[in-house]
Amino acid sequence: MAGSNEVNLNECKMVVPLNTWVLISSFKLAYNLLRRPDGTFNRHLAEFLDRKVPANLNPVDGVFSFDVLIDRATGLLCRIYRPATAEEPEPNIVELEKPVVGDVVPVIIFFHGGSFAHSSANSAIYDTLCRRLVGICKAVVVSVNYRRAPENRYPCAYDDGWTAFKWVNSRSWLQSRKDSKVHIYLAGDSSGGNIAHHVAARAVESGIDVLGNILLNPMFGGQERTESEKRLDGKYFVTLRDRDWYWRAFLPEGENRDHPACNPFGPNGRSLEGIKFPKSLVVVAGLDLIQDWQLAYVEGLRKAGKEVKLLYMEQATIGFYLLPNNNHFHTVMDEISEFVSSDC
């Protein structure tokens, strides 16, 4: 870890509220327990420690949820969040897949974070986040419980994302009345943001429209050590060593961080010029050590002529969007809301 421990601990305590600090620190602590130096992962302990919540058909703050198994072969589950309507304040258990009501109903396919190894669609923090997205975007949110590393390396997470995408796209009950099509947005934080990018790329390749990508602190990287990585290593909850561990766990064995999954616009990447890639909203936290890679990603999109809005939150650390107790949180939620509603 770069820098002395004490200094680092004090620094990050000054930029986040105390409860956020406790939350993210306890994740950090737990995650340190789970990663083994030999590259294996203590999955049993991970599942024991992860705080999960069940789906809930009874609307809470106007949102109800239910789980659907969309691929038996891989056990791929998705949790679907829907707004309770005035006509149907208590959803009928038999009619969960009632057609959405509206000329334009955004459907956000959400990929949770966790650096490809941690968390699930039913993790409490992500359940909370998805419920919020329903409210602010007046959308249906589909949270994908993709397979995780190191047990399931690249391309499993992307394949699961693609399976979920095709499933969502083929649901007649998710179609907007205006054009009988499903209005899909892809969203994700950390590794989820990375997955969103790759699923979007695959979608456009297959000729299916994606209306927008929302990437929150997306997880990208590369072989080179960037200035932000050197400067911020170990300072705000995250170390280069753990980033490296997660890439080693996710990427195919023997591959380095210039693999296009990790570095889409790097030496092995591919330009998106001439491809109908959706508009992107990319949120970068100013205290995230991988920001140089995230900014390079935004640059890559711009250079290829793709519409991208960058939200650079200077004093934000990773995970700022998990608790609604800071300004960055509210700014970002407003921007997301606007990004999605501008489709109407």
Binders in 3-42 for another protein, by CB under 8 A: 5-6, 9, 13, 18-19, 21-23, 25-26, 28-29, 32-34, 36-37, 42
Site string for another protein, 169-208 (x = CB under 8 A): ----------------------------------------
- Other Cβ atoms within 10 Å of 323 Cβ, number: 16
Segment lying near another protein (by CB under 8 A), choices 152-160, 192-200, 250-258, 317-325:
317-325
* From candidates 85, 208, 323, 337, binder to another protein by CB under 8 A: 323
* From candidates 14, 86, 87, 94, binder to another protein by CB under 8 A: 94
Two structure tokens written together for 174 = 């998710």
Q: Does residue 155 contact residue 149 with C-beta atoms inside 8 Å? A: no
Q: Does 304 bind another protein (CB under 8 A)?
A: no
Phi–psi pair at 329, nearest 5 degrees? -55, -50
Q: Does 56 bind another protein (CB under 8 A)?
A: yes
Two structure tokens written together for 26 = 């306890």
For helices 124-137 and 327-341, what crossing angle results, to 10°?
A: 50
Distance CA 235, CA 9 (A): 7
Residues 6+ apart with CB under 8 A from 246: 115, 116, 117, 149, 191, 219
Two structure tokens written together for 65 = 């949820």
Q: Does residue 288 contact residue 217 with C-beta atoms inside 8 Å? A: yes
Segment lying near another protein (by CB under 8 A), choices 124-132, 134-142, 189-197, 295-303:
124-132
- Other Cβ atoms within 10 Å of 86 Cβ, number: 7
Give the C-alpha distances (Å, rounded to integers) separating 203 from 155, 169, 210, 282.
15, 10, 7, 19
Segment lying near another protein (by CB under 8 A), choices 64-72, 250-258, 289-297, 299-307:
64-72
Active-site positions read 190
CB of 143 to another protein, least distance (A): 12
- Residues found near another protein in the complex (CB under 8 A): 1, 5-6, 9, 13, 18-19, 21-23, 25-26, 28-29, 32-34, 36-37, 42-45, 47-49, 51-58, 60, 66-73, 75, 77, 79, 93-94, 96-97, 122-125, 128, 167, 322-325
